[in-house]
Amino acid sequence: MNSIALEGSASNPKDNDTVKDAAIYAKVFWRFIPLLVVCWVVAYLDRVNISFAKLQMQSDLGFSDAVYGMGASVFFIGYFFFEVPSNMILHRVGARVWIMRIMVTWGIASACTMFVTTEMGFYAIRFLVGALEAGFVPGALYFFTKWFPSDRRARVNTIFMSGIAFCGIIGGPISGGIMKYTDAAFSLAGWQWLFLLEGLPAVVLGLIVWKHLDDEIAHAKWLSPTEKQFWSEKVLKDSQTVNTHNFGAALREPATYILSLIYMALAGGIYGLVFWMPQLIRTAGTEDVFIIGLISSLPYAIAGVVMILLGKNSDRTGERRWHLALTTLAGALGYFICGLYSGNTVILLIGLTIAATGIISAIGLFWVFPQRFLGGMAAAAGIAFINSIGQLGGIITPYMVGKVLDLTGSATMGLYAISIACVIAFLLIAWGLPKRLSVDS
């Protein structure tokens, strides 16, 4: 009797498909995601390591807080102009070749920051790094639409975006350690070693990407013909449900602009953290750069765990809107606490942890939404468009906080401004997004 039941269960096509789905997903996940997460960690470290370099280079080169903030912001100007063209090229030539190109060139440019001596040189190299890195994140997100079905994407996106948290966990201690223990070696300052040692890994990883990525499921020699057909049909089924495949149609879609505004607030929120967290911790009373690095890793460690759990829960329940809205609201609360208690290290750290957990989780959850109505070239260019508009928050926030510091001696008003922007984003998510994007059918 039991053997008959077991045979009947094993022959159930639905059960067989579920087992096959899980097995192929595991293969695809472990083939691509760990590598791309490491690439994102390195990319993010190269993007934000000036927050630690500032602790030495600012006095060495005589830069004001406003100059530093402008240099942090100029990165995003280059990013803004080249994001959409970069992803449109990626759509045509494939992620394998184009992500390799992005990583090799940005790694070299980032390492060359070690040669900066003037304000204009600082602005120029930051613009170049932004222009060369443009397309990496939207390129990876577009790549996921070609390899993962929609019911897996919240967790895949959040695991990928957890690279921000992992960067914060390891980046602070590594950056602080490099600056402290290499300072004056071979007549180079610690901040110069920082840019060199954190820029070159991107070049190596770019070559690994070129060897390891497959642009299409059909190209995967590590999947059997049966597995390719099954997985292709599953992913293709999702692409047939989106209603926008043309970039022009994406630009006529109101949701594109609502999402761009939301992401502008989220991007402004995250860059308020990554560019100013070390300075905020120093201002609250900690001077040692290595200790600052260790303290700054704590909020990211908590954020990394929470964001993965939230992404998994969003996929499990199929609910999207309130997962995103409430994490954004948590970011607003965290920034408000930081502004209110900027001189108290313990309470500041609590505020930074809430802000980091909310904003980083929201960024991972956010990218499910564009993928729900954009496909094909519209996905490649539309995701890049939303990301590039959103990165305007990265232009505004670092410079704004630096200017506020120069004028008032405190970052409090800048932190309150970021909190207000996150509240506006919460309202847009809760009541501005079309219902069709909010819950899986």
pLDDT digits (tens, 9 = 90+) for 11-35: 565 666 788 888 999 999 999 999 9
- Tell the residue number behind the tokens 């070559």, with chain if given: 207
* Position 242 confidence tier, pLDDT thresholds 50, 70, 90: low
Q: Name the maximum alpha-carbon separation found in the chain.
A: 83
Residue 93 scores a pLDDT above 90: yes
Supply the DSSP string of 310-354, one letter for each residue: HHHHHHHH-B-HHHHHHHHHHHHHHHHHHHHTTT-HHHHHHHHHH
Closest to 143 (Cα-Cα) out of 47, 37, 225: 37
Torsions phi, psi for 30 (to 5 deg): -75, -20
User: How many structural domains compose the chain?
Assistant: 1
Beta partners for residue 374, in sequence order = 244
Amino acid of residue 318? G
Amino acid of residue 270? I
Q: Which domain holds residue 270?
A: 35-435
441 inside domain: no
C-alpha 356: how far from chain center? 12
9 inside domain: no
3 inside domain: no
More confident position, 379 or 156? 156
Q: What span, in angstroms and rounded, lies between the C-alpha atoms of 177 and 164?
A: 19
Take residue 410 and report the two structure tokens written for it. Answer: 């405190």
26 inside domain: no
5 inside domain: no
Q: What span, in angstroms and rounded, lies between the C-alpha atoms of 86 and 385?
A: 11
Q: What pLDDT score does 243 carry? A: 57
Q: Check if the beta carbon of residue 348 is closer than 8 Å to that of residue 248.
A: no
* Position 5 confidence tier, pLDDT thresholds 50, 70, 90: very low
- Tell the residue number behind the tokens 């409430």, with chain if given: 326
* Position 244 confidence tier, pLDDT thresholds 50, 70, 90: low
What residues contact residue 102 under an 8 Å CB cut-off, 6+ apart?
86, 132, 133, 134, 135, 136, 139, 206
Q: What pLDDT score does 37 carry? A: 94
Which region holds residue 135: left if phi is over 0, alpha if psi is between -120 and 50, else beta?
left
Residue 331 scores a pLDDT above 90: yes
C-alpha 288: how far from chain center? 28
Q: Could you tell me what percent of the chain has a pLDDT over 70?
A: 93
* SS3 at position 440: coil
164 inside domain: yes
1 inside domain: no
CATH code: domain of residue 62: 1.20.1250.20
DSSP 8-state secondary structure symbol assigned to residue 187: G
Q: What pLDDT score does 8 carry? A: 45
10 inside domain: no
